[in-house]
Amino acid sequence: AEAGYRRCLAEGVDAALPLSALLLQQARYVETIDILAPVYEAQPGNAIAAVNLSIALRSVGRCEEALQAATRACDAAPGNPGACNARGLAALELGDAQEALSAFEQGLRHAPGTLALELHRSKALRKLHRMHDAVAALERIVKVAPDLLEAWRDLAAARRALGLYAPALQSATQAL
């Protein structure tokens, strides 16, 4: 598939978005950035390009640029869950848990129950030391997704932070 997308690009056919998605799946972040940067500049309203660029930038540690790209995606497609998630994750990486929480909650207003947004929202709540809220959110998550080990690990940590050691141990056991 990659060779075909690259041939299309060489022939002037716009294949940057599918090629970038393929490269992201393969964790080839620098190549993704190289493919998407021109699209991002030429098409400021292209939310898909901005989200994928944000993911790649964050993955190589360029979090301020990732936040800018994700914010542009949110402006282009308000409430887009992927854009909100990208913005929230970049904000978390930069240590702005309140901005992250705002982004995740914006996405959830438009796509209630989206597990990735719910899980990342709980991480922002934990960073803000809102452990009771984080525990409640994580308990809801593990009820609908009992195989989501990351949620069990986070629930154990949040319960431990509240001094709820027996429930924390139970959650940690579920994560094994």
Q: Could you read off the pLDDT tens digit of each residue along the chain, which spans 176 residues? A: 888 888 887 776 688 899 999 999 999 999 999 999 999 999 989 999 999 999 999 999 999 999 999 999 999 998 899 999 999 999 999 999 999 999 999 999 999 999 999 999 999 999 999 999 999 999 999 999 999 999 999 999 999 999 999 999 999 999 88
**The dihedral formed by the CA atoms of 37, 39, 40 and 43, expressed in degrees to the nearest 10:** 160
Within 26-175, where are the H helices? 29-42, 47-59, 63-76, 81-93, 97-110, 115-127, 131-144, 149-161, 165-174
Do the Cβ atoms of 54 and 70 come closer than 8 Å?
Answer: yes
pTM of the complete model: 0.90
Q: Write 90-94 long-range contacts (CB < 8 A, 24+).
A: 90/54, 90/57, 90/58, 90/63, 90/66, 91/67, 92/120, 92/123, 92/124, 92/127, 93/58, 93/63, 93/66, 94/63, 94/64, 94/67
CA 50 to chain centre: 13
Do the Cβ atoms of 119 and 151 come closer than 8 Å?
Answer: yes
In the block, residue with structure tokens 């090629």: 19
pLDDT computed for residue 12 by the predictor: 66
**R_g of the chain computed on alpha carbons:** 18
Token couple for 22: 């393929």
